[in-house]
Amino acid sequence: VKDSGRNGVSFFHSDMEERSLERILLENELKKAIQYEQFRIDYQPKLDLATGKVTGMEALVRWDHPELGRIAPNKFIPIAEETGLIIPLGEWVLRRGCEQNKHWQDQGYPPLKVSVNLSARQFYQPDLLDMISRILKDTGLEPQWLELEVTESIFADIDNAAAILQEIRNLGVHTSIDDFGTGYSSFSYIKNLPIDTLKIDASFIRDIHRNKESHAIVKAILTIAQTLNLSVIAEGVEIPEQLAVLNEDGCGHGQGFLFSKPLSSQDFENYLKDLPIT
């Protein structure tokens, strides 16, 4: 900070200013983006590791700004969460994802589950259940073909979280805990929670093939999941060495660049067309 150039102090200042300017800019652009529908969704396949079959896909929002270009979700989702814009944006993603999934089913592709990320802010909206039911009704998607991915951050209010998760289950919609192992995930939390799937965070998968500790954590998650009757998916599977370990450990599902990057809806459809007929 002190001497990063001709004038360290003003450098520091301009850096701070720049950051908040960027932030204000993005906030404003985000509002317009919702209005002008600058968003798209990419779909990343999820596979059954034992059979190699595709079982579902995660909907990942994409923002292509007309002047600024592609803006990464890790950049704009936190702003959308803080400003509350995640509410309309998240609803749009859910609706679009369900619509698209139903469309593929109607086209005759084997039925898949679409997973949609739900931020904590959305999870605690009083009309969450109404919104989900409405979207399922409007799109005609049966609830078992929808999964909501929530992060451990919702467990800050564990009793409330459990009640809402139960209501989601009552709708027939599946839930999974995203980035599992990185947050509040003391195993005691998940003991009585009505959830279906643990999604092992990519940080454990990254070095699972060469780090004893990561491998031990993954094995512990698989054991607990088996005991609690939960399914497991590993995210961020990039190389065959990681897949080999996951197969050996009996991990049920996987997702990652090794299988496919997130694809535009058109590319995802081509991917479905190219799958071997079984």
- Residue 90 contact partner, candidates ligand C2E, Ca ion, none, CB within 5 to 8 A by sort of partner: ligand C2E
Q: Which stretch binds ligand C2E (CB under 6 A): 125-133, 158-166, 231-239, 265-273?
A: 231-239
Closer CB to ligand C2E, 74 or 266, in the complex? 74
- Torsion sign, CA atoms 236, 224, 58, 166: negative
- Residue 238 contact partner, candidates ligand C2E, Ca ion, none, CB within 5 to 8 A by sort of partner: ligand C2E
- Residue 256 contact partner, candidates Ca ion, ligand C2E, none, CB within 5 to 8 A by sort of partner: ligand C2E
179 binds Ca ion, rule: CB under 5 A: yes
Residue of 30, 43, 54, 119 that binds ligand C2E (CB under 6 A): 119
Q: Which stretch binds Ca ion (CB under 5 A): 15-23, 121-129, 148-156, 218-226?
A: 148-156
232 binds ligand C2E, rule: CB under 6 A: no
Q: Which stretch binds Ca ion (CB under 5 A): 31-39, 77-85, 154-162, 172-180?
A: 172-180
Please list the residues that pair with 235 across neighbouring strands. 255
- Residue 29 contact partner, candidates ligand C2E, Ca ion, none, CB within 5 to 8 A by sort of partner: none
- Torsion sign, CA atoms 22, 27, 28, 33: positive
Q: Under a CB-based contact definition with an 8 Å cutoff, are residues 118 and 111 in contact? A: no
Rounded distance between C-alpha atoms, residue 67 and residue 258, angstroms: 32
Please list the residues that pair with 175 across neighbouring strands. 148
DSSP 240-262: HHHHHHHHHHT--EEESTTT---
And the tokens for 30?
């985000």
178 binds ligand C2E, rule: CB under 6 A: yes
Tell me which residue of 229, 232, 231, 234 sits closest to 256, measured CA to CA.
234
Instruction: Please enumerate in sequence order all residues whose Cβ is within 8 A of that of 267, keeping only pairs 6 or more positions apart, or say none.
Output: none
Residue of 29, 42, 147, 178 that binds Ca ion (CB under 5 A): 178
- Span 242-261, contacts to ligand C2E by CB under 6 A: 256-257
Rounded distance between C-alpha atoms, residue 24 and residue 73, angstroms: 16
Distance of CA 31 to the CA centre of its chain: 22
- Span 179-218, contacts to ligand C2E by CB under 6 A: 179
Rounded distance between C-alpha atoms, residue 221 and residue 252, angstroms: 12
Q: How far is the CB of 230 from Ca ion (least distance, A)?
A: 16
DSSP 277: P
Q: Which residues bind ligand C2E (CB under 6 A)?
A: 44, 60-61, 72-74, 77, 86, 90, 93, 117, 119, 178-179, 236-238, 256-257, 262
Q: Which residues bind Ca ion (CB under 5 A)?
A: 117, 149, 178-179
